Structure 1
Amino acid sequence: MTLDRFPDLAEMRVVDLGGTVEAWERAPVRPAHVTVLNLTEPGESASDSIVAVRGDACEAVPVLAAAGASTSFDLVFSNSVLEHVGGHANRSRLADSVHALAPRHWVQTPYRYFPIEPHWLFPGMQFLPLFMKARIAARWPLAHSPSPSLERATSAALWTELISVTEMRHYFPESEIARERFLRVTKSIIAIRS
C-alpha cells in the first residue's frame, strides 16, 4: 500500500481482512487503530491500537459485531486473501464486506495470467486440472506452504483460485484497478478506492 494513495494512513482506523497482527507491528507506518480479522491465526498484540479478531472475512460485519469490535472504518486493507475464500459466491461476499466496512479500500490479489503461480512458484499451475495441481502441490519443493499429503495438497489447490482483471472489476466496479508488475508483466491486481 502506498502512502501517496493514503497520505493520512497514520490517522486512520483500518480493518485488515485476512492479515496478521505481526505484519502491522512491523509496518513502517502504523494507523491510529487496526483491527485484524483472520479466519485462522490473526495473532495477538500488546498494543491497544491493534485488535485481533478470529473469523470469516466474508462475514466481516456480523463477526466483528459479535466480537464487540467496530464495524466502521476509514480503510479496508486486504492482501492476497481474495483468491483463498472459495469461489465466486464467497468472493462476492468478501467484496460486500469491503464495501460495508469503509468508504476506502486497498484489496490486492495475484493476477491469474501471470505466468508463474505465486503460491507454488510453478509455471502455469493455475491452468492445470485439479489432479495435476494437487500432485504438484504435494511434491514441488518451492511451495509457499508445503503440503504433507496428497489430501492436503488437493485441499490447498481447491482453496486457491487466481482471478482476472474482469473479475476484479466485477467485485469492485467503482474502484481503480491498479497493476503491480514484474519485468513489465502484471503480477498482481489491486482494487483501490481512495
Structure 2
Amino acid sequence: MSGIRALRSRFVDAPDSLGERFRAARWERFRACFPGIGGMRVVDLGGTAENWLRSPLRPRHVHLVNLEPHPDLLPEWMSAENADVTDPDIPAKLGEFDLVVSNSTIEHVGGPSQRRRFVAAVDQLAPLHWVQTPYRYFPVEPHFLAPGFQFLPLAARAKLVRHWPLTHSRPGTPEEGMDAVIGIDLLTRAEMRYLFPRSVILAERVAGLTKSLTAVRNRV
C-alpha cells in the first residue's frame, strides 16, 4: 500500500480508522434513539449489506434499497432491491416499515426537488426515521478528504479530484472527474430543518465542529 493510500486507510477505511470510530459512536447514538430496534422492520435507503453486517445491532429485518448492485447472498434477516427512491411510485411498491434509516445518501439524490421527493418517501415508508448526512460547513469534505473542497467552483472540483491523492478512486478523464463531483450536494442545517420540520436535528461533532447532521423522529 502506498503512503497516500495508507493515509486514507488510517482516516476512513481501516477497521481501526478514525472513520470507523465515528461510525461506531454513531451506532451507539442510533441505539439510544431506537432502543427497540431488535423488533423493528427497517428499510435502509442507500444502505449496504456490509454496513449492517458490521453493525453491533440486529433489527428483526432490514430491506436495502440502492441503485448499486447488492450481494447475491444475504442473511435471512436481510433483503434488497435496486430502485430509485425518488421515484414517486416506489414507496407504494416497497410497502410499510417501522423505521427508515439512511446514512450519507440524501446529498447524492439530486437538487432540491429530488431531495423533497426523497423526504416524501421517508415519510410514506415509516412513522420513524434516522436520516444522516455530512454537514456542508465542516472544513473537510468527507467524500474526498479535501479541506474546503465543497466551496470550490464545480469546474475546479472536477479538475482537482483527478489529482487529489486522498480520493478513493481517482477519475482518469475530465468526464469522469465531473461525474465524481456533480452528484454531491452537501446540506446545511437550515435545509435539514426545512426538509424535516417535525424531526429533531442532531449534530455529530468533532473537536467542537459539526461533522454531520441527523434528522431523527423516534416517536409517533
Identity in percent: 45
User: 2:71 and 2:92 mapped to 1: Cα distance?
Assistant: 16
Matches within 5 A, 1:1-194: 1=27, 2-59=30-87, 62=90, 65=93, 70-194=94-218
Letter in 2 for 1:24: W
CA deviation digits over 1:160-187, x for unaligned, max 9? 1101001011111100000001111000
Structure 1, unaligned stretches of length 5 or more?
none
Cα 1:89–1:37, aligned 2, differ >3 Å: closer, same or farther?
Answer: same
Q: Which 10-residue stretch deviates more, 38-47 or 75-84?
A: 38-47
Query: 3-state SS of the aligned residue for 2:55?
Result: coil
| Cα shift at 1:64 | 7.0
CA deviation digits over 1:68-94, x for unaligned, max 9? xx4101110000001111111111111
Structure 2, unaligned stretches of length 5 or more?
1-26
CA deviation digits over 1:104-155, x for unaligned, max 9? 1000000000111111111111111111100111111101332222211111
Tell me if the contact between 2:49 and 2:70 (Cα under 8 Å) persists in the aligned partners. Answer: yes
The residue number in structure 1 matching 2:11 is: none
Cα 1:23–1:64, aligned 2, differ >3 Å: closer, same or farther?
Answer: farther
> How many residue pairs are counted as aligned between the two chains?
190
User: 1:96 and 1:157 mapped to 2: Cα distance?
Assistant: 25
Letter in 1 for 2:131: V
- The TM-score, its normalising length taken from structure 2, stands at 0.82
User: 2:57 and 2:141 mapped to 1: Cα distance?
Assistant: 30
- The TM-score, its normalising length taken from structure 1, stands at 0.93
User: 1:12 and 1:63 mapped to 2: Cα distance?
Assistant: 18
User: 2:158 and 2:168 mapped to 1: Cα distance?
Assistant: 14
Tell me if the contact between 1:57 and 1:94 (Cα under 8 Å) persists in the aligned partners. Answer: yes
User: 2:149 and 2:74 mapped to 1: Cα distance?
Assistant: 40
| Cα shift at 1:44 | 3.5
User: 1:46 and 1:17 mapped to 2: Cα distance?
Assistant: 17
Letter in 1 for 2:183: W
Tell me if the contact between 2:111 and 2:185 (Cα under 8 Å) persists in the aligned partners. Answer: yes
| Cα shift at 1:157 | 1.0
Q: CA RMSD in A?
A: 1.5
User: 1:128 and 1:106 mapped to 2: Cα distance?
Assistant: 30
User: 2:74 and 2:149 mapped to 1: Cα distance?
Assistant: 40
Query: 3-state SS of the aligned residue for 1:31?
Result: coil
Tell me if the contact between 1:45 and 1:52 (Cα under 8 Å) persists in the aligned partners. Answer: no
